[in-house]
Amino acid sequence: MSKLPDVSRRSFFERALGGSAAAVTTLTQVKSAFAQSVGGLAPDPKHKRAAGESDEGYWAKVRGQFMLEDGFAYLNTGTLGPTPRPVVNAMNEYWRLMAVNPNENSQIFQDRQEQIRMKAAAFVGATPDEIAITRNTTEGTTILTHGLDMKAGDEVLITAFEHPSLRETRMRHAKRFGYVVKEVNFPMPPTKAQIINAFEAAITPRTRVMHFANPLGGYGCFTPVKELAQLAHSKQILCFIDGAHCPGMAQVSLTDWGVDGFACNSHKWLCGAAGAGILFVKRDVQERIWPNMSIAREDPKGARKYDQLSRRPWPCVAAFEDILDFHNAIGRARLEQRTRALGSYLRRNAAEIAKVKVYTPMDESMSSGSSTIGIEGIPGARIREYLRQRYDAYVPGGGQSVRISTHFFNTYEQADRVLKALKELSTGVA
């Protein structure tokens, strides 16, 4: 039998502490390298541009931070955004640290959770005690759904345009507890008044929750969320938001919106790694929303009780901080302006093409970088395949339309490819 190495208690702890310190140093170096790589993304404040003027040279520099193939027009951020190289590089290093010393280095990442919570809260206009770090929008939506006590006869209002992760979660929960889920319908594209009036008409004395997306992911339609929250509260109704498509596309201020709950992810318009998201639960309703799971006898303070997930992929959480820093380095207002400009350009020009139908509102206060467009008599699958094969552009499509995501790393030239394809298909040239 081979002799076991003689490791004293003292030497063991010296090595453990030394290894931990080395990992902290490495993490600090990774964060420093990341900050340096994105530090040059802020435009020169001395360089003033006329209103509406686009600095394509600057956005080309931003696009250079991504790993997309040259010439490839990726137009599906609404499903899964591409992650910029600095975030990928940092996350790779985080996984390496987990591999060389899983337990101690995992603890180092966990110790950053409160710092990340503070950054996430600032990003969406909330307080840290109202923020839980989840894995994605679906998890946050499920916590809001299952956490609120419901009884037979109660009613929940959703729209007719919700993602299945909201609709089906609600439907199953309603079937279990005997309450009713009512779908609120309105034309697409709608006006703000049509949305508000449709919700108001659907409310009854039994309505307890309004739960809907902002924007509606399948159509890129922003709802008048502040007005709807005020309507809900005037009737003692809770207002929950599926925000999967909002952060990264548009600035968010949950305090200004006045909603009671909000869930989002990192992997769509934020362009972060899958595996991290935000759940907001307003402070004065937290006692009414139960957590789905826990590892503590006593609930932690505030919304922290909703992210007691035990073991989780901490490198994904660490990378969530990096993608927030990436957006902040460029500027959230600047990113929103760029994304809105590209979307508006695409919709405005598409609407002038014969037989083309734009389902996303033309009202710029109700739209941004997500555009749902169809052609009379042409299946969405045909449009999708034509764009992919003829113009090296990827969009999702089905039914009678395609959804086109024009985000800040996309270009006007790529939008023009879509417009050319729509014109060719609508005129029969294709």
DSSP secondary structure letters along 254-294: HHHHT-SEEEEESSSTT---TT-EEEEE-GGGGGGB--S--
Over residues 345-392, the pLDDT tens digits come to 999 999 999 999 999 999 999 999 999 999 999 999 999 999 999 999
Q: Quick one: pLDDT band at residue 14, thresholds 50, 70, 90?
A: very low
* Domains in the chain, CATH or no CATH each: 108-327 (3.40.640.10), 333-427 (3.90.1150.10)
Dihedral (Cα; 17, 23, 28, 31), 10-degree rounding: -160
Packed helices 380-391 and 412-427: angle between N→C axes, nearest 10 degrees: 120
Q: Is 53 exposed, middle or buried (0-12, 13-18, 19+ CB in 10 A)?
A: exposed
C-beta separation of 303 from 130 below 8 A: yes
Q: How far is CA 49 from CA 44, 56, 158, 205, 341, in A?
A: 11, 12, 42, 53, 15
Query: Is the confidence at residue 35, as pLDDT, over 60?
Result: yes
Query: Is the confidence at residue 43, as pLDDT, over 80?
Result: no
Query: Is the confidence at residue 213, as pLDDT, over 90?
Result: yes
Please state, in angstroms and rounded to a whole number, the distance separating the CA atoms of residues 273 and 299: 28
Among 13-17, 169-173, 395-399, which stretch is predicted with the lowest mean pLDDT?
13-17
Q: What percent of the chain has pLDDT over 90?
A: 83
Collect all residues with Cβ–Cβ distance below 8 Å to 114 and sequence separation of at least 6.
Answer: 128
- In 288-398, at which residue ranges do the beta strands (DSSP E only) sit? 356-358, 370-375, 393-394, 397-398
Adjacent-strand bridge partners of 73: 393
Q: What's the residue count for the chain?
A: 430
Q: Quick one: pLDDT band at residue 176, thresholds 50, 70, 90?
A: very high
Of 237, 185, 230, the residue nearest 209 (C-alpha): 237
C-beta separation of 250 from 256 below 8 A: no
Query: Is the confidence at residue 5, as pLDDT, over 60?
Result: no
Residue-level pLDDT at 48: 56
pTM: 0.92
Report, in this order, helix, strand and coil percent for the chain, each rounded to 5.
50, 15, 35
Please state, in angstroms and rounded to a whole number, the distance separating the CA atoms of residues 321 and 127: 16
C-beta separation of 230 from 210 below 8 A: no
Tokens representing residue 141 in the block: 């939506």
- In 111-195, at which residue ranges do the beta strands (DSSP E only) sit? 131-134, 155-159, 180-184
Please state, in angstroms and rounded to a whole number, the distance separating the CA atoms of residues 417 and 345: 13
C-beta separation of 263 from 137 below 8 A: yes
Please state, in angstroms and rounded to a whole number, the distance separating the CA atoms of residues 139 and 268: 15
Over residues 84-121, the pLDDT tens digits come to 999 999 999 999 999 999 998 999 999 999 999 999 99
Over residues 240-288, the pLDDT tens digits come to 999 999 999 999 999 999 999 999 999 999 999 999 999 999 999 999 9
Sheet holding 397-398, edge to edge: 356-358, 370-375, 401-405, 397-398
Residue-level pLDDT at 389: 97
Q: How many CB atoms lie within 10 A of CB 182?
A: 16
Residue-level pLDDT at 294: 83
Q: Quick one: pLDDT band at residue 309, thresholds 50, 70, 90?
A: confident
Q: What percent of the chain has pLDDT over 70?
A: 93
Over residues 117-170, the pLDDT tens digits come to 999 999 999 999 999 999 999 999 999 999 999 999 999 999 999 999 999 999
C-beta separation of 283 from 139 below 8 A: no
Query: Is the confidence at residue 51, as pLDDT, over 80?
Result: no
Please state, in angstroms and rounded to a whole number, the distance separating the CA atoms of residues 171 and 69: 41
